[in-house]
Amino acid sequence: MATAYRTASAPTPPAPTTSTREPARSPPWCSPFSAREPQVRIELVRLRRWSQSTDLLDGTADVGFVRLPVDAERLRVLPLYQEGPCVVLPVRHPLAGEDTVGLRALADEPLLRYTGASPAWSAVRNADPRPDGTQWLRGPDVHDMEEILAYVRAGSGVVRVPESVAAVFPRPDIAYVPLTDVPPGTIALAWDGDRPSPLVDTFVDATRTTAPGVTRPTPGSAPAP
């Protein structure tokens, strides 16, 4: 899931809402912004990573820490860092004890489908279809991590998640195994380029000057580096 921060400013201009990647994990770049704009209150709003563009485009959130790609031409993105993917397996699965696993070894597994995910997002973030063009067996549709864990636990399917998601959802009956033949995902700051705001500009600049190796923003539909 992605999360969003809604910010509210005192009698001055409305503050940016900010969106971040995962539940219960706040990005470190909120503090530099707050140091520059101490009168602004930041509120957390949770987004789903497979439909994360929506709340940034409808104004629910003004700034978002999202997972690329975001398939909206209006969004601007500032790539920040990368993290590897894992496959979610029941602990009794024959591959659950492996150090790593490739997609070919999962050929006979049904794939859980994220409800509302675009085909472009599924192709990049869920390797659907696989890089060799083959299709997964269709598994149940899921809405959140609780449903993912329930279906995986029952043996109804597998799914790919980022390693940070695996870190915050440890379960004794669930195994997260790193995938070897899927490229890492990119975390980026995103915002609506057609809805200018001085506070959003401040947040973007604070993030750019805080995160090492960050360069200029790019359109939201650009591929992950």
The closest of 86, 142, 145, 90 to 113, measured between CA atoms, is 142
Residue where the block lists tokens 């043996």: 155
- Give the pLDDT confidence score for residue 10 in this predicted structure: 36
The closest of 37, 4, 31, 5 to 199, measured between CA atoms, is 37
- Give the pLDDT confidence score for residue 150 in this predicted structure: 98
CA distances, 73 to each of 69, 70, 191, 192, 218 (Å): 11, 8, 11, 9, 10
- Give the pLDDT confidence score for residue 11 in this predicted structure: 35
pLDDT average per 10 residues of sequence, the chain (225 residues): 46 45 52 88 77 84 86 85 94 97 94 85 82 89 94 96 92 97 89 90 88 61 40
- Give the pLDDT confidence score for residue 219 in this predicted structure: 59
- Give the pLDDT confidence score for residue 220 in this predicted structure: 57
| HEC letters along 44-73 | EEEECHHHCHHHHHCCCCCEEEEECCCCCC
- Give the pLDDT confidence score for residue 28 in this predicted structure: 66
**Residue 70 near residue 223 (C-beta atoms within 8 A):** no
- Helix (H) and strand (E) counts for the chain? 6, 12
Per DSSP (E only), the strands in the chain are 2-9, 18-20, 40-47, 63-67, 75-83, 85-90, 110-114, 137-142, 159-162, 174-178, 185-192, 218-219
Distance between CA atoms of residues 216 and 225, nearest Å:
13
Residue where the block lists tokens 């009168």: 39
- Give the pLDDT confidence score for residue 222 in this predicted structure: 43
- Give the pLDDT confidence score for residue 178 in this predicted structure: 97
The closest of 76, 200, 101, 74 to 158, measured between CA atoms, is 101
